[in-house]
Amino acid sequence: MTDAGASAPVRTVETAAERSHARALAEVERAFRALPTDRPVRLAKRTSNLFRARSAGPTAGLDVSAFHGLLALDPGDGERPPTARVGGMTTYEELVDLLLPHGFVPLVVPQLRTITIGGAVTGLGIEAASFRNGLPHESVLEMRILTGTGEVVTPRPDNEHARLFRTFPNSYGSLGYALDLVIELERAEPYVALRHVRFASLEHLVEAVDTVMGEHVWEQERVDFVDGVVFSATEAYLTLGRWTDDLGGLPGPSDYTGQDVFYRSLQHRRTDVLTAHDYLWRWDTDWFWCSRAFGAQHPLVRRLWPKRLLRSDVYWRIVAFEQRHGVMAGLERRRGLPPRERVIQDVEIPLHRTAEFVEWFLREVPIEPVWLCPVQLRPRDDAYDADDADDAAAAADETTDATDGTTEAPWPLYPMRPGERYVNVGFWSTVAVEPGAREGDVNRRIEARVTELGGHKSLYSDAYYDEQTFAALYGGAAYEPVKQRHDPRGRFPSLYEKAVRAR
C-alpha cells in the first residue's frame, strides 16, 4: 500500500475464513434479489445498540451474519500502518479478542462490546482515543458495501465510488450495508495507566481538555486517552490514560468486573492501572452507570449477579423487554406517577461552548452523571484529495458543510469541521413528563440548544427535527444524489425515515 486510498497488502490469517467470505459475498447478492420488493429491507439481526423506537410494519429481513471475523492482518512495516480486513458484522468484542494477541487494536474502540464495526462506521462511534484518532470511519481505507440496487461495490476515497465512501458515515444503513472493511490499527501495550484529575469548575476542566487535545501531554506525562465524568457543576473528573507495559509498582491491575464499579473509582482514586482488555471495556460492565437502574450496583445484588452477565447487552435485553411489555411503566401508572420521557443522547459541542452547554444541562435536565469525551477529526492528507479519480471533483463537491455552505466538512452527513475541537457529551436516563408537557419536549429543547451552540447530535436515539431542518443539519444536499444513485427504488428507508420517523 502506497497511500491511504489503496487497499493494504495483507498477510492471510485464516484462508478458510477468506474462502467462506467469498462465498458469502456471492450469496448476499442472491439473497437480496430474492427479497420482496414491496417491503423495506432491514438487517435480520437479534441485537441492536439503537434507542429509537421502530414503527410496526412488514419488512424484509436480510441476513448478513456471515460477514464477521478477522479476514486478514497486515502488521505494517514502519512506513505503512498496520491494517486489517474485517467483516462488517464483527463486534468490537470479537475484534479486540482477535487483535490483542497480535499486539494491535482498532484506532477507536467504542465503549460497548456488541457494537459492530459496520455499525460504528455507518453510525458513529467514539471513545477516549478520539481526541487523537477521530471517529471510527476515519480509519477506514476501503469498504465493500451492498447497495440498494443489490450490487456489491468497493468505495475508496479515490475511486468512482468516492461519493458513497464520504456519505456512508452517519447514513445508518440507508445507503447500504458494509460487508467488510479495511481499517488502520495501532499497537497496544499490556496495560493502560490512568490518572483521575478532579476539577471544581467546568471552565477549568475545559481549559485542561484544550491543553491535552493540543499537546497530548498533561503535567509532563503523555496522554493516549482522555474522557471525563461530571457529577455536578463543582465535581468533575478527567481520566487521562496512557499505554504502558509497567504496573507502576502496583501488585496487579484493578478489576471492575466484580464488586467494584469503575465510575465510582474516579471519586476516590487518583491513579489506577487496568489491563488493555479491561480498559477497553471499562464502561461496558455497568453500561457506564446505567446498571444502577436494574439494581446491579447494590452490593447484595451484585454479589448474586453472575459476573458474566455484568455487560451492556444483558441490560439492553432488560430494556427491550420493558419496551415490549411495559411492566414497570404499568406499575408506575397504578402508583399515580407521571409518565417518563427517555433522554438518551450523545451530542458533539464545540470545546469553547462545552462548559456553557453542560451548565445549562445540569440546570434544566435532572440527569447525572454526564459523560465527556473530547474528539476532533484526524488531519486530512493528500489521499483525500482524490485528484486521480474520475469521480474526484464530484466527491469534493460533497464535502460542503450543509449548515453554512462552506467546504469544511469532509464527512457531510455529520459535518464536524476539521481543526475544530469538540467534546461529546453523553447522558442516558429518563425524566418525568411535567403536567401540560408532551413526551419529547425535553429532547426537543436539547436539540435546539445543541444547534444554537453549533453542535451536532448523534442519531442512534430519538430525534424530533422537521424534515427541512434535518436536511440542513445532516448533509441533505450531499445525501440525496448518493441515495438516488445507489438506492433509486428506495429499498432501504431514508436517513430521515430511520432517524426521525422510526421506520
- CA-to-CA separations, 52 to 60, 311, 471, in angstroms, rounded: 19, 21, 19
Task: Specify whether the CB–CB gap between 164 and 155 falls below 8 A.
Answer: yes
Question: Which pLDDT score, from 0 to 100, does residue 52 have?
Answer: 55
Cα separation, 284 vs 434, in Å, equals: 32
Pairing of strands 60-62, 41-43: parallel
- Select from 203, 226, 29 the least CA-distant residue to 131: 226
Which residue do the cell numbers 500502518 mark?
81
Question: 386 pLDDT exceeds 50?
Answer: no
Query: Does residue 332 belong to any structural domain of this protein?
Result: no
Residues 457, 383 share a domain? yes
Q: For residue 235, is it within any domain?
A: yes
Q: What is the pLDDT of residue 382?
A: 43
- Asked if the structure places residue 3 within a domain, the reply is no
Angle at 417 between CA 400 and CA 86, to 5 degrees: 90
**Same domain as 361, residue 274:** no
pLDDT higher than threshold 80 for residue 402: no
Q: What is the pLDDT of residue 50?
A: 62
How confident is the model at residue 257, as a pLDDT? 94
Q: Using pLDDT thresholds of 50, 70 and 90, give the confidence band for residue 49.
A: low
C-alpha cell of residue 472: 440542513
Does the pLDDT of residue 384 top 90, yes or no?
A: no
pLDDT at 13 over 70: no
Both 49 and 136 in one domain: the answer is yes
Which CATH number fits the domain that encloses residue 91?
3.30.465.10
Average pLDDT estimate for 327-336:
83
Q: Decide if 386 contacts 419 (C-beta within 8 A).
A: no
Q: Is the pLDDT of residue 486 over 60?
A: yes
Residue 390 pLDDT > 90: no
Point out the least confidently predicted range of 22-26, 91-95, 186-190, 451-455.
22-26
Domain end point (choices 267, 282, 297)? 282
* Mutual angle of helices 351-364 and 202-215, in 10-degree steps: 150
* pLDDT at residue 17 tops 90: no
Domain region containing 157: 11-187
Q: What residues contact 10, with CB distance under 8 A and at least 6 apart? A: 72, 73, 74, 83, 85
H helix or E strand, kind and range, residue 371: strand 370-375
Q: Is residue 85 part of a domain?
A: yes
Give the C-alpha distances (Å, rounded to integers) separating 329 from 55, 304, 314, 434, 487.
Answer: 20, 26, 20, 16, 40
- Assess whether 168 and 55 both reside in one domain: yes
User: Pick from 187, 212, 241: which residue ends a domain?
Assistant: 187
**pLDDT of amino acid 61:** 84
Classify the C-alpha dihedral 247-251-252-256 as positive or negative: negative
Mean pLDDT of all residues in 318-340: 85
Q: Are residues 138 and 230 in the same domain?
A: no
- The DSSP call for residue 116 is B
Bridge partners for 154 per DSSP: none
- Convert 317-332 to b/e letters by CB count within 10 Å (16 or more is b): eebeeeeeeeeeeeee
Does residue 441 sit in helix, strand or coil?
A: helix
**Dihedral of alpha carbons 340, 261, 268, 272, sign:** negative
* 148-162, 270-284, 323-337: range with lowest mean pLDDT: 323-337
Q: Is residue 91, in this structure, part of any structural domain at all?
A: yes
Query: d(Cα 216, Cα 502) in Å, to the nearest integer?
Result: 40
Q: Does residue 131 share a domain with residue 238?
A: no
Place 5 in a pLDDT band, splitting at 50, 70 and 90: very low
Weakest-pLDDT range from 3-12, 313-322, 369-378: 3-12
Quick check: is 103 in a domain?
yes
Based on the fold, state whether residues 264 and 123 are members of the same structural domain.
no
Q: Which residue has the cell 427535527?
A: 465
Instruction: Indicate if 176 and 39 belong to the same structural domain.
Output: yes
pLDDT at 156 over 60: yes
Name every residue whose Cβ is closer than 8 Å to that of residue 341 and which is 6 or more positions away in sequence. 430, 431, 432, 433, 439, 440, 441, 442, 443
pLDDT at 378: 93
Cell numbers standing for residue 208: 485542561
For 445, residues 6+ apart whose C-beta sits below 8 A from its C-beta are: 364
Asked, for residue 348, whether it belongs to a domain, the answer is yes
Residue 492: pLDDT above 60?
yes
378 class by beta-carbon count within 10 Å (0-12 exposed, 13-18 middle, 19+ buried):
middle
Number of domains in the chain: 3
Categorize the per-residue pLDDT at 44 as very low, low, confident or very high, splitting at 50, 70 and 90.
Answer: confident
Distances, alpha carbon 295 to alpha carbons 99, 287, 300, 303, in Å: 34, 13, 9, 11
The verdict on residue 315 lying in a domain is no
Q: Are residues 446 and 355 in the same domain?
A: yes
Q: What is the mean pLDDT of the chain?
A: 89
- pLDDT more than 90, % of the chain: 76
- Is residue 160 over pLDDT 70? yes
For 355-365, give one letter per residue: b (16+ CB within 10 A) or e. bbbbebbbeeb
Q: Please indicate whether residue 376 or residue 38 has the higher confidence score (pLDDT).
A: 376
Distances (CA, A) of 244 to 28, 191, 193, 195, 460: 43, 5, 7, 13, 34
Q: Which residues contact 205 (CB under 8 A, 6 or more apart)?
A: 199, 228, 236, 238, 355, 372
Q: Looking at the structure, tell me whether residues 52 and 145 fall in a common domain.
A: yes
Do 417 and 404 belong to one domain?
A: yes
Residues 453-462 have pLDDT tens digits of 999 999 999 9
Q: Are residues 276 and 154 in the same domain?
A: no
Position 56 pLDDT exceeds 80 = no
Which triple of cell numbers denotes residue 235? 465535581
pLDDT > 60? residue 393: no
The share of the chain scoring above pLDDT 70, in percent, equals 88
E strands, 266-336, in order: 271-275
Q: Please name which of 188, 195, 281 lies closest in space to residue 239, comparing C-alpha atoms.
A: 195
The most distant pair of C-alpha atoms in the chain lies apart, rounded to whole Å, by: 67
User: Can you tell me the mean pLDDT for 12-31?
Assistant: 79
- Burial track 227-243 (b if 16+ CB lie within 10 A, e otherwise): bbbbbeeeebbbbbbbb
